Structure 1
Amino acid sequence: MRPWQHGRVRAEPTTLDAVVAHVADRVLARPGGSPTRVLVDGHPSTRPEALADALVAPLEAAGRPVARVRSRDFLRPRSLRLEQGRRNPDALLDGWVDAGALDREVLRSVVERGRYLPTLRDPDTDRPTRAPYADAPAGIVVVLDGTLLVGQGLDVDLTVHLALRPDTETRRTPLEEAWTLAAYGRYRREQAPERRADVVVRVDHADRPALVVR
């Protein structure tokens, strides 16, 4: 498989293990005494949570404490996020994740207060988890996964976006979730995650990822 190139951007074939190593190296290149906050973003079919999980072991092996945080544990109450209907793409894009709480209680808190809230709300029961704050030791790496999060104003240091072509995104979206495609289309147009992310990995072929090099 030869590299794909468009203008000054090219996509180099790689492996999932190499992607993990590349992102871990980017994190470890940063000053070790300060927190580093990493966002792994992608359509649900790209499984951003899997890449985020895979980053934990190499970072811990390098001596960095890791806080693994999931955006699904910071959803707004169901009554708020579904007040415009259960299948409203604009609400999905703008109003499902409580970005303010995620930023305040996790991403800024590890820097400003030396602690963070691991979870806010149980996504299944819709009840507050009442989780206690956890300490954020020196050099902690917060690894956050989610979808539609680029452009939400989250205070992160490194953004990884798992990119799909629109036709791949459509093909991988279950019929009952087809209403979400409008949100992802608007996301690409308005937030341009492939341009804004620090690391972009094309995953149209899940077993043959390609690292975008600018």
Structure 2
Amino acid sequence: MDELLRFVCLYEPQEDGEKLKFMCNSIYLLNCPKNNRIYSLKDLSLDLSWHAKSRTLYETLRTYLPLPCLSTLRNLTRVANNIDDTKFFSSVFNATDERNRGCVLIIDESYIKATVAYRGGSIFGCPGKVATTFLCVLVKCFFVSKHFLVKLLPCHELKAIFQFEVITEVIQQLESCGAKVVALINDNNRVNQSFFSCFKAMNQSTPWIVKSPVDEN
């Protein structure tokens, strides 16, 4: 099994790289106890898109793949007890010691099928600008096991300045509720490169250390 994992991880031709990464991750998760499986944001985004297409399909896939259970997906996406976001965030961080309120934002853009749906007399989606991706923002606390999805926005041609505005709004909201956002994590695609250029570096020799967009000092 270990040799198979090493082979799949090393063998990544351009056309099959993502498929092999998915296979490698699935094999790894299969070898983990169910209660100890840790899913990446990319995994969860893909799982949510599958579940959104068909709950029956998702349940069928779970019999063959180590996918998170429905309660895990609901815990990530539901608003707790129907309260608004600010009240929920405040309840999370007020129950945490001040020294443990440091957290990171994990940002990911996940591709989805461009669709306009007609259900119950309503049109879902914008026919002129059909969403092709989701912008996902996940909060992960440093020293406690708290993590939750903050934003899941459908996007048509995601722009760096829009992403910067969304993240600034998220940081502002979280910190008003007691959190301390100390880092951002995402991949190095072109949008994210432009996104990070919107920040002001504290020192030119360390461009990865930037000033918080909500810091007025």
- Mark yes or no: TM-score above 0.5: no
| Bigger CA radius of gyration | 2
TM score, norm. by length of structure 2:
0.31
Higher relative contact order (CA 8 A, sep 6+): 1
TM-score (norm 1): 0.31
